[in-house]
Structure 1
Amino acid sequence: MSDETLFGTDGVRGEANSWPMTAEVAMKLAAAAGRYFRRDQQEHRVVIGKDTRLSGYMIENALTAGFTSTGMNVFLLGPVPTPAIGYLTHSMRADVGVMISASHNPATDNGIKFFGPDGFKLSDEAEAEIMELYRAGVSLANPEAIGRARRLEDARGRYVEYAKTTFPRRLRLDGLRIVLDCANGAAYNAAPKVLWELGAEVIPIGVSPDGFNINEKCGSTHPQVAAQRVRETRADLGICLDGDADRVILIDETGQIADGDQIMGLIATRWAEEGRLSGNALVATVMSNLGLERYLETRGIALERTKVGDRYVVERMREGGFNLGGEQSGHIVMTDYATTGDGLIGALQFLSAMVETGDKASTLTRVFDPLPQKLVNLRYALGKAPLEQDAVQEAITQAESRLGRAGRLLIRKSGTEPLIRVMGEAEDMGLLEDVLEKVVSEVRAAC
């Protein structure tokens, strides 16, 4: 694999101890990022957080060596949610923030995400400049100018206190029983504290990380475990975070699972009614359900679509001055509160609606009727280009013609894994399945 592809749609990601997620690459990348952000001789600092993967220790030490070698002072935060890195980078006046996480991927993977001094993820242009430095090699600091490293013991507490400020002070969660699945990930300690301190009865699962069990049959990618616990305990709500807690999936009191589209639809409606929805628009990706778009139109709210990836959602939000966006997968981005998706703060917004309206979760998680939607993931061998095959292109053209205005088809490469994602939605489930079957068959053959 070439260095040209070091950065994907969400930083650098791969299997731990294999290129590009090796200690050597991490150290060189940190040195390049350190040189990129340290453009003068003043004191500079970087904050580094991680999730609970075993390989996080290795990557953390490699990044520390790279940054200090260029004169950057390093503050190690330990396991904290990804949004905490955005918040603390900005609040601590750091030059750069780094999160070591592969989000919802299995424990054998890991990743590196960079945040600028404003707390937002880096642009494609900034990543390209860091890659140029990475390939060229950087000049190291003189011996007397090598950076220092130390642990910041209260980082998690700072985030806990901030998260609570996003929940209306006049409200409490007294009387609410909440099942909280932290995916054995970065929020295993912070998220239960926030909900408990706001008055909720918390039934935690996925809060015993061992370095290997992050996202394993738990969290936002496996919400069935939490759904069963909601039914067993007669809880009012289930909250499922992913490994780095930047996304959330909700479960109502009946055990029904609601995705990010429903959460965004609810928040957009409430904010529009309160006059808080900047630009009177919601920013979402091409994956969001067509039913959400049609629902928002009836409320006079525009839907701005972007490429898949919360960084592209945030870029469009900043360009257009919008303050609400996200993804169907559960990234909920509210720039009034955070610089990236924040699963916990997204859940708090939903909980504030429950408390203020008195409605059950089953009412608030069914804002619109989604069109039938189906997603098929097909793994392909590296070096293959299945979507460029003539037979695949012909099948796609025929499928789009059959769907017409009654549905849509979206086929793309994953930005984080060697997968082709084939997604379709239509008013008629029978038509949808027939159309997808032909496309999937051709793509599978090409893979």
Structure 2
Amino acid sequence: MGRLFGTDGVRGVANADLTAEMALGLSVAAAHVLAEAGTFKGHRPVAVVGRDPRASGEFLEAAVVAGLASAGVDVLRVGVLPTPAVAYLTGALGADLGVMLSASHNPMPDNGVKFFARGGHKLADELEDRIERTYREHASGEPWDRPTGAGVGRVREYDEGFDKYVAHLVGVLPNRLDGLRVVIDGAHGAAARVSPEAFARAGAEVITIATEPDGLNINDGCGSTHLAGLRAAVVEHGADLGVAHDGDADRCLAVDAAGEEIDGDQILSVLALGMKDAGTLRGNTVVATVMSNLGFKLAMEREGVELLQTAVGDRYVLEEMKRGGYSLGGEQSGHVIALDHATTGDGTLTGLMLAARVAATGRPLAELAGVMRRLPQVLVNVRDVDKTRVSSSARLATAVNEAEKELGETGRVLLRSSGTEPLVRVMVEAAEEEQACAVAQRLADEVKSALG
């Protein structure tokens, strides 16, 4: 039986893999485990619960709220807000626990449950493992110890969460965005209201696309995984830049005035140099993952910024940032963590900081992002394979070794199982795109053959 918790909570097809019963049980288990860990310290615990606009989020939210209240936890329902908003409010309100219902960039039928500890930080692996063990024990029939009478949790709406979060975002910016025209692609997701409001309050002229969620259209041909609409809108409206979020808005990709994509590595480059100039890049270091483009590493070396690389996953970036006391880190996918202002990746904050750098320097985004040159990088997702065997297959190890010899020092290969989806990712980087494509496809075929 595989581990329920992936790199970003518990995910699956809603009402199939992730049922109301599971959401309720996990919530009760989380309350009991955190109580046993001393998180509640003898006081009546409080949880912040939010969700993205997926239709399944409605019944899953009801299940989570019921589970927490039945375990004696008071619940503040903040409604549809981004994942980083739930993390922020968990800390700002002094809550003991935060719960977000979202499957991020995954398609609409999926959903997920993500827990935050006191302060708005992701739970440690050890706590997730204990929650999963406790959940499984009670799912098999062991009864819960349940409070009664005045001991049950109370539930209330917390409508102030939207304004409190937006005010926080605008308040941490180093300068205003007056004079900028920005297109925002909300992915019909959790940032559909938040991001346009934050940019407008910061002084930008805002044009929106994909900001009308109906519960079914989240990530559907829009957002950070589908940039064509944003590219076209930026060019059509003569905007200075465009910002695209994913479904729960913990990530951000951008588009320059010509409609060219600015990925997470380039965003990190711009922000790192801006923070270095301002003296806020602690340790003169930026933290990224092994998926970062080689061009990013070369740019940071040239600019005198140290780069530390971790395993793939924003949680590993965050762990390294906390360990070393660093202020900036992120992933190529657009998860960017500004630890002075957020406890997790925040797509709206990232977009605002990027726009603020454009406004402060008066330089086009394309020029700022030009500090790094992206080397050709090809990513192939191989589905319908046993991803658990990717690291133990001798056949794949041999194939990777041969590919690395072929590429030499001008490229690299990375094979890994996805932490959020049932697939294996094959990444190849090379000096020439044609070579990268050929090697990546050859390795993808090998993965399909070896693990299919």
TM-score range, shorter chain: over 0.9
Alignment of 1:144-159 (within 5 A): 144-159=150-165
Partner of 2:413: 409
User: How much has 1:393 moved relative to structure 2?
Assistant: 2.7
> What TM-score do you get using the length of structure 1 for normalisation?
0.96
Name which of structure 1's ranges 427-436 and 339-348 shifts more when overlaid on structure 2: 427-436
Residues 252 and 365 of structure 1 are in contact (CA less than 8 Å); yes or no, is this contact kept in structure 2? no
Residues 434 and 111 from structure 1, CA distance in 2 versus in 1: closer, same or farther, beyond 3 angstroms? same
Matching residue within 320, 324, 330 for 1:326:
330
Question: Is residue 2:227 matched to residue 1:223?
Answer: yes
Corresponding residue for residue 431 of structure 2: 427
| Matching residue of 1:245 | 249
Partner in structure 2 of residue 120 of structure 1: 121
Pairs within 5 Å for 1:2-401: 2=1, 4-19=2-17, 21-39=18-36, 41-137=42-138, 138-168=144-174, 171-381=175-385, 385=389, 388-401=392-405
Partner secondary structure for residue 225 of structure 2: coil
Letter in 2 for 1:155: G
Distance 2:386 2:406 in 1: 32
Q: Alpha-carbon deviation of 1:348?
A: 1.2
Seen in structure 2, the aligned counterparts of structure 1 residues 334 and 383 have a Cα distance that, compared at 3 Å, is closer
Is the partner of 1:377 in helix, strand or coil? Answer: strand
Q: Is the 8 A contact 2:224 2:245 kept in 1?
A: yes
CA apart distance, 1:405:
1.6
TM-score (norm 2): 0.95
Distance 2:430 2:352 in 1: 32
CA distance in 1, matches of 2:201, 2:438: 51
Query: Using the alignment, how far apart are the partners of 1:27 and 1:38 within structure 2?
Result: 17
Q: Distance in 2 between matches of 1:315 and 1:383?
A: 25
The Cα offsets for residues 161-188 of structure 1, whole Å up to 9 and x where unpaired, read as 11111212xx332222111100000011
Q: In the alignment, does 2:445 pair up with 1:441?
A: yes
Question: AA paired with 1:34?
Answer: A
Shift of 1:214: 0.3
Q: Matched residues in 1 for 2:389 and 2:191: separation?
A: 38
Letter in 1 for 2:51: K
Distance 2:441 2:169 in 1: 45
* Contact 2:50–2:101, Cα closer than 8 Å, also in 1: yes
Which whole-Å CA distance do the structure 2 matches of 1:119 and 1:7 have between them? 18
Give the CA deviation at 1:373: 0.5
Task: State whether residues 283 and 324 of structure 1, in contact with CA within 8 Å, keep that contact through their aligned partners in structure 2.
Answer: yes
Query: Across the two proteins, how many residue pairs are aligned to each other?
Result: 442
Give, in angstroms, the shift of residue 429 of structure 1.
2.8
Instruction: State the shift of 1:439 in Å.
Output: 1.3
From the superposition, tell whether residues 160 and 422 of structure 1 become closer, same or farther in structure 2 (CA, over 3 Å).
same
Q: Any conservation in 1 of the 2:390–2:417 contact (CA below 8 Å)?
A: no
- Contact 2:13 / 2:111 at 8 angstroms: preserved in 1? yes
Aligned partner letter, 2:97 = V
CA deviation after TM superposition for structure 1 residue 381, in Å: 4.2
- Mark the runs of 5 or more structure 1 residues left unpaired by the alignment: none
Residue range with higher mean Cα deviation, 264-273 or 204-213: 264-273
**Equivalent residues of 1:379, 1:420 under 8 A apart:** yes
Counterpart contact for 1:160–1:193, Cα < 8 Å: yes
| Cα-to-partner distance string for 1:82-137 (whole Å, 9 max, x where unaligned) | 11111100111110001100000111000111111021111111111212221233
> Displacement, 1:389?
4.2
SS at match of 1:341: coil
Paired residue type of 2:8: D
Is the contact between residue 188 and residue 212 of structure 2 (CA under 8 Å) also seen in structure 1?
Answer: yes
Alpha-carbon separation, structure 2, partners of 1:243 and 1:384:
27
Distance 1:323 1:177, change over 3 A: same
Task: For 1:330 and 1:100, locate their aligned partners in 2 and report how far apart those are by CA, in whole Å.
Answer: 20
Q: Distance in 2 between matches of 1:32 and 1:355?
A: 47
Q: Indicate conservation of the 8 Å contact 2:380/2:441, yes or no.
A: no
Give the letter for the 1:186 counterpart: A
Secondary structure, in 3 states, of the residue corresponding to 1:38? Answer: helix
Q: CA deviation at 1:344?
A: 1.0
Provide structure 2 residue ranges, at least 5 long, that are not aligned to the other structure: 139-143
Cα RMSD for the two superposed structures: 1.5
After superposing on structure 2, the runs of 4+ consecutive aligned residues of structure 1 that deviate more than 6 Å are: none
Share of identical aligned residues, percent? Answer: 45
Amino acid aligned to 1:141? P
C-alpha distance in 1 between matches for 2:437 and 2:48 = 48
Per-residue Cα deviation, 1:390-436 (whole angstroms, up to 9, x for no partner): 43332111101112221110000001111110001012333323322
Superposed CA offset, 1:277-336 (max 9, x none): 111111101111011111111122111111111111101110111110000000110011
